[in-house]
Structure 1
Amino acid sequence: MGSFSLGKVFTMPRPKTKDAANVTKLELDYTVNVRKVLYITEFVILLNYVEVIVPIIFSKAVDVLLSTPILRVEVEDS
């Protein structure tokens, strides 16, 4: 497998204004770390959402299918 780089996600271009001198390395490091935490948090929340919603949708679909008259007869006969 090739190497995976998060450079596109976590890099921050330096501002090209007069205020660029006021931004310290500590502030830039803090900003990068906050962006990493937000990215990971977003991923975890999405994963948990999918883990909950997919089974709910699946159970509702099975419930609808089992409530149809044709399937009810087939289930009762077997």
Structure 2
Amino acid sequence: LLAQLLSRMTRDIGDYFLTESKRLLDENPPNNSAAYHRLSWTHKLYERYGKMERVSMRRELHEVNQLLEEVEEGLKSSSDEDD
């Protein structure tokens, strides 16, 4: 029962961080740094959930990886503007 609770919390926190990162990216201007931090945690939590439950999180991880790539591009372009 405790393992099920921990597993469910891991997935729910990952979902929350994903939602929160999307909200941060929708801000004007986007908060890329904070979104990147949350997406990194989402990725770790989804991987951990997949291992705990022995389920594929491929679709979810693909979405997170795409967002991470977009955020990295945004971080690069904002640092290029600072130069």
TM-score, scaled relative to structure 2? 0.36
TM-score, scaled relative to structure 1? 0.38
Q: Larger helix proportion, structure 1 or 2?
A: 2
The structure with the larger Rg is 1
